Amino acid sequence: MEGPDQFPVDECLPNLIALLESANTAVLTAAPGAGKTTRVPPALLAATWCSGRILVLEPRRIAARASARFVAGQFAQEPGGMVGYRVRMENVTSPATRIEYVTEGVFTRMITADPELAGISAVIFDEYHERSLDADFGLA
């Protein structure tokens, strides 16, 4: 049973990190509220291969902002420190940002400007079932 600080996805995080060490790609499915959006990105920071930023793609601006605020709060910080977000006309990041929640449109502009995504260790497509042209372009 999960405690107040535990989420269902927590028990699979060690296996996910181990898989990503060798496979480079994984698909994680879990029920809503399992912790995919808020628990996976911080867990990946501990991986040996993760020296750059982790991008988490969100389909909507409100989701990017809310997720960044929640995860930053888990580190007793405000967005713009270790955890930040970037949406249309609003960039709340800093050189210290390691986890960045972005909208799919922002990601499209990022990948167009830098196809190799220099400095990015992982890209997480959150809510991918809400398919869009930008998300499909990013995945390609």
pTM: 0.86
25 within 8 A of 19, measured Cβ to Cβ: no
Q: Which DSSP symbol is given to 60?
A: S
Whether pLDDT at 1 is above 70: no
Average pLDDT value for the chain: 87
3.40.50.2300, 3.40.50.300, 3.40.190.290, 3.30.1490.190: CATH of 10-15+36-139 = 3.40.50.300
64 near 102, Cβ under 8 Å?
Answer: yes
The two structure tokens encoding residue 56: 């988490």
Query: What is the DSSP pairing of strand 120-125 with strand 90-92?
Result: unpaired
* 123-136 pLDDT tens trace: 988 865 455 555 55
The tens digit of pLDDT for each residue in 29-84 reads 777 888 888 999 999 998 988 999 999 999 899 999 999 999 999 999 999 999 99
Domain boundaries, the chain: 10-15+36-139
Name 97's Cβ contacts closer than 8 Å, sequence gap at least 6: 53, 80, 81, 82, 83, 84
